[in-house]
Amino acid sequence: MPGQKITVVYGSSPREMTHKALEATEPFAELPPGSRIGLKPNLVKPKPSSSGATTSPEIIRAIIEHLNERGHYNIVILEGSWTGSRTEEAFRACGYEEISTAFDVPLINLQNDPAKKIKCHRKLSLNVSEKALALDCLVNVPVLKAHCQTKLTCALKNLKGCIPDKEKRRFHSLGLHEPIAYLNRILKNYLIIVDGIMGDLTHEGGGDPVEMGRILAGRDPVLIDSYAANLIGYRVEDIPYIKMAHDLGVGELFHGGIPLEELDKDKMPAVSIKAGDKAAYLAQWIEESEACSPCYGSLVHALRRLEESGELKKLKASIFVGRGFKNTPNDGWGIGSCTQYCTYNLPGCPPDSREIVEFLRSR
């Protein structure tokens, strides 16, 4: 896909950051008037975005404002929460009813929407929501977070909300990875805006939120997910559906030649450390002083990956992070450019979680 790039906006105001990402990319410039536009957030269950589980309503608000300013009004918000939750409750609890009223944008529950059977190959067919298939423009608005089975849930897996509940259960019986990859060949992402401000450390249902302080924007779900995997400490090989989707021609894997446009690096927010139990447990390995949330969040995810592999308790020295350690020598590991005078330092502003994992393993 020529012209591929990822735009990253740092900050703490989802609405402002989303406007900045859209203004930097102008993704709807060639979208014909009257196009049927669907915004697909991640509302897995009725929990606010502060829980780390769901897409901030302020991101959706900003996308609608941007579209309206450019003459696009044929917009719906569509979602099917996970099996066992009611999408209507999620719309209400997550603040989407107010957006629907304010902008006259319908809320569409896909849990029981009529589905069309699409043949993928000789042994696999998928049932996909007719309303999702009828869109001219699908804007995928996932949350960057961990997942208990697939490790990562971001752009590719978020489209699982566009199938009926019965099909969601069948996806699990099929092993999740192959059907997720084929679903993204059926439903084309026009644009992806990732809520990477507050995602969950351990589970897609929230409860262990970690601040990551960024929004990602791009057109390619494979590119976005292969980049996002690094942000929470995984390799692409750890998440089979990413490579499967690439092999199906859905998109390109992230590599050093892909342009990465980073905006407002000078405005990275200070971490508030409003952590869940697991993140609070991992904090005992960290010496923090005036850290920004992108750097601190990457470190927390890295420590979680080391915990999963049984390596965490082997760490003996303190791990320093934050602007408070600038120009200060410290005996231990320093994460980020602000800790360059530590005995061992991983530069970067911010380094991603995968880099931190490899750095800590090398010590």
Task: Dump pLDDT digits (tens) for 97-130.
Answer: 999 999 999 999 999 899 999 999 989 999 999 9
Pairing of strands 107-109, 124-129: unpaired
pLDDT (0 to 100) of residue 274? 58
Distance, in Å, from the CA atom of 219 to the CA atom of 95, rounded to the nearest integer, reads 26
Encoding tokens for residue 140?
Answer: 């995928």
The set of residues, in sequence order, having a beta carbon less than 8 Å from that of 351 and lying 6+ positions away, is 295, 298, 335, 336, 359
Residue 16 exposed, middle or buried by CB count within 10 Å (0-12, 13-18, 19+): middle
The set of residues, in sequence order, having a beta carbon less than 8 Å from that of 309 and lying 6+ positions away, is none
Q: Is the pLDDT at 272 greater than 80, yes or no?
A: no
pLDDT (0 to 100) of residue 40? 98
Give mean pLDDT, residues 216-237.
98
**Nearest Cα to Cα of residue 133 among 174, 164, 100, 165:** 164
Pairing of strands 191-200, 209-218: antiparallel
Number of H helices, E strands in the chain: 13, 16
1-15, 79-93, 228-242, 305-319: the lowest-pLDDT one: 1-15
149-158, 247-256, 266-275, 308-317: the lowest-pLDDT one: 266-275
- Identify the band that residue 84 occupies on the pLDDT scale cut at 50, 70 and 90: confident
Give mean pLDDT, residues 89-99.
97
Give mean pLDDT, residues 86-95.
96
- Identify the band that residue 1 occupies on the pLDDT scale cut at 50, 70 and 90: very low
- What is the secondary structure of 93-157 as a DSSP string? HTTHHHHHHHHT--EEE-TT--EEEEEEETTEEEEEEHHHHT-SEEEEE-B-EEETTTEEESHHH
Q: What's the topology of domain 6-267?
A: Rossmann fold (3.40.50)
pLDDT tens-digit map of 143-193: 999 999 999 999 999 999 999 999 999 998 999 999 999 999 999 999 999
Q: Is the Cβ–Cβ distance between 342 and 316 less than 8 Å?
A: no
Give mean pLDDT, residues 256-281.
86
pLDDT (0 to 100) of residue 275? 61
pLDDT (0 to 100) of residue 360? 96
C-alpha pair distances (Å), 23 with each of 12, 52, 58, 65, 176: 18, 26, 16, 12, 35
Domain spans, the chain: 6-267, 277-361
If one counts every other C-beta atom within 10 angstroms of the C-beta of residue 71, the result is 10
pLDDT tens-digit map of 20-68: 999 999 999 999 999 999 999 999 999 999 999 999 999 999 999 999 9
Beta bridge partners of 108: 78
Q: Is 9 helix (H, G, I), strand (E, B) or coil?
A: strand
Kind and range of the H or E run holding 304? helix 293-308
Largest CA distance in the chain: 63
